[in-house]
Structure 1
């Protein structure tokens, strides 16, 4: 997942010349005309003949000028789809990557139309004109799931529901994700950020002129969550090998085969757990701890299937009282007395009155 800083952390403002393309950016300039011919337009920085928009005397243009932004990852870049102006995400991959096979399987009419399928849709797969046997995956632009974070358990329910349902869908079709960790769960945030956001500076508008303030999740009709990054996925493999992945699951091994489906259940359970712990007080999520405990035994044989975990979750949520589902979650960093009073009043007003008549924002499905 990309860092939110405008400039990557390992780059030093004192030595970077933003008026010249970094060596890692040059191949993107070489792809500019090819991508344009296929309906995708890169930012001005990558157009042949680009000239910086800032004066030579500007010391730190990356804080004021959009075309001074460097990419957060050399193999990922943003573009706009010419046909409708929608921002898209470009990802370089090897033609032999498992992601290509999985993309084509998920794009089949039967699986693409399955309502349980909350996998990121692949909009296009292009042959890379620069790297032999390389491809460019065209994906919708998504956002990290913790900005804004859910304010109640009720707002958390769709996140868990959609991701667990997707795991059931994948496993029913003999696909194991193998890296469904926190950073590989993302959301369609268009309703939350109606002005859009800059793909290389998540807290800025597309034109880079304003700092973003998202709408609260309660103000939108629906938030769609997606599993992304199928680079480690397997198809029709009951056992697999490998140490790669964001979550250091106990069974990972290069020598001893393990069940990739039970691995998925563990990784997703840990994703929920890490999300909870990174933002909120432990006491706020005691009601959901049985679910994460159920999904994350050290022994893979003791873990449930994705379907059993999903059923367990549905049963658990159905038994929670409304006051538990709608109580306000508090950051583990705490809040002052005045902040607590204000936040409690605001939450109570919304929960009891405004939510009944406020028209919520909606968005069209990703295509």
Structure 2
């Protein structure tokens, strides 16, 4: 233990799957307040941490709260460190659209800097129970990207594994979990700013250009607008996890048909999409918002049913 944290230790034959500390059982009082995760687990066996890099480790503090510790600087300039510092300033945190992972503290060991963050759960393993839960999910991430782009931050690596929900829950069996995604309590975040860049505040979003490689553009030598590429990543992920309720909210079809036509030279598309989405969202009646759903995701042009419902059929 150091600085009050007990690290999860990996199995001898793997660096990726790590069990919780055996000397620290989960606390009886699981009602941890924000920024710590809500608990939907019963015991340590449901808390295995799968990390795919040696620079990120799960840990537990002296109060039994789950955290993640990540190495973000080895003494050299670190855009991720500077971005996280900015996102966790008092002014940035006052903005309700700042849906980024909160920082508990930064730790310095000689030339190394680590960030300690609350451990939140997998974004999409559990299902959505209602239409409202799906639309709330989409709203949060659109707001997040509008906020980032207004502050001239391009994430540039937005995938499901780089976002989270403020809850720890069993990954197996996959199912709906009552209360997990309740819009009155569930929070979502964007995290992992390893590939991110921040640009000058006086630059127009439409004028910024970038040349560093990003997966979605392959090896294209042409300069691109990083905010446009960022929005395309956001829109494509949201289409996957939102459009499957198009049968009950038909307007989602035309919304995604439009926003997926991304202009790679324009950087203001996130704010435009949020405005259009909120116009759609605000017109959905309460009777539809509360409707239960049996779909899970959108893939290859069609809604897919929850796999656990198929297994039990």
**TM > 0.5 between the two?**
yes
TM-fit CA distance, 1:285: 6.2
TM-fit CA distance, 1:125: 2.2
* Cα deviation code 1:199-242 (max 9, x no counterpart): xxx449xxxxxx99833447674100101111111111621123
Given candidates 66, 72, 92, the residue that maps to 1:87 is 66
Residue 175, structure 1, aligned to residue 156, structure 2: no
Q: Take 2:183 and 2:238, find their aligned partners in 1: how far apart are those partners?
A: 22
Q: Which residue of 2 aligns with 1:37?
A: 2
* Cα deviation code 1:153-201 (max 9, x no counterpart): 21112211111111111111111111223332211015xx4xxx6xxxx
Q: Which residue of 2 aligns with 1:160?
A: 138
User: Match of 1:255, SS?
Assistant: coil
Residue 116, structure 1, aligned to residue 116, structure 2: no
Given candidates 251, 254, 257, the residue that maps to 1:290 is 254
Q: Take 1:301 and 1:323, find their aligned partners in 2: how far apart are those partners?
A: 40
- Please list every run of 5 or more consecutive structure 2 residues that lacks an aligned counterpart in the other structure: 12-20, 23-43, 201-207, 296-303
Q: Which residue of 1 aligns with 2:205?
A: none
Residue 188, structure 1, aligned to residue 166, structure 2: yes
Cα–Cα, structure 1 residues 213 and 297, in superposed 2: closer, same or farther, change >3 Å? closer
Q: Which residue of 1 aligns with 2:116?
A: 138
8 Å Cα contact 1:186-1:227 kept in structure 2? yes
TM-fit CA distance, 1:87: 0.7
Q: Take 1:71 and 1:310, find their aligned partners in 2: how far apart are those partners?
A: 33
TM-fit CA distance, 1:147: 3.5
Q: Take 1:326 and 1:171, find their aligned partners in 2: how far apart are those partners?
A: 32
Within 5 Å, give how 1:154-303 maps onto structure 2: 154-189=132-167, 193=169, 202-203=171-172, 214-217=177-180, 221-236=184-199, 238-245=208-215, 248=216, 251=217, 253=219, 255-276=221-242, 280=244, 283=247, 286-301=250-265
Q: Take 2:153 and 2:267, find their aligned partners in 1: how far apart are those partners?
A: 18
8 Å Cα contact 2:225-2:265 kept in structure 1? no
Q: Take 1:311 and 1:290, find their aligned partners in 2: how far apart are those partners?
A: 14
TM-score, length basis structure 1:
0.61
TM-fit CA distance, 1:324: 3.7
* Cα deviation code 1:46-71 (max 9, x no counterpart): 9xxxxx99xxxxxxxxxxx96xx785
Q: Which residue of 2 aligns with 1:314?
A: 278
8 Å Cα contact 1:158-1:223 kept in structure 2? no
User: Match of 2:223, SS?
Assistant: strand
8 Å Cα contact 2:152-2:199 kept in structure 1? yes
TM-fit CA distance, 1:89: 0.8
8 Å Cα contact 1:182-1:272 kept in structure 2? no
Q: Take 2:92 and 2:305, find their aligned partners in 1: how far apart are those partners?
A: 42
Cα–Cα, structure 1 residues 309 and 281, in superposed 2: closer, same or farther, change >3 Å? closer
Q: Which residue of 2 aligns with 1:326?
A: 290
Cα–Cα, structure 1 residues 267 and 135, in superposed 2: closer, same or farther, change >3 Å? same
User: Match of 1:267, SS?
Assistant: helix
Which is greater in Rg? 1
Q: Take 2:247 and 2:233, find their aligned partners in 1: how far apart are those partners?
A: 22
- Please list every run of 5 or more consecutive structure 1 residues that lacks an aligned counterpart in the other structure: 1-35, 47-51, 54-64, 205-210, 340-367
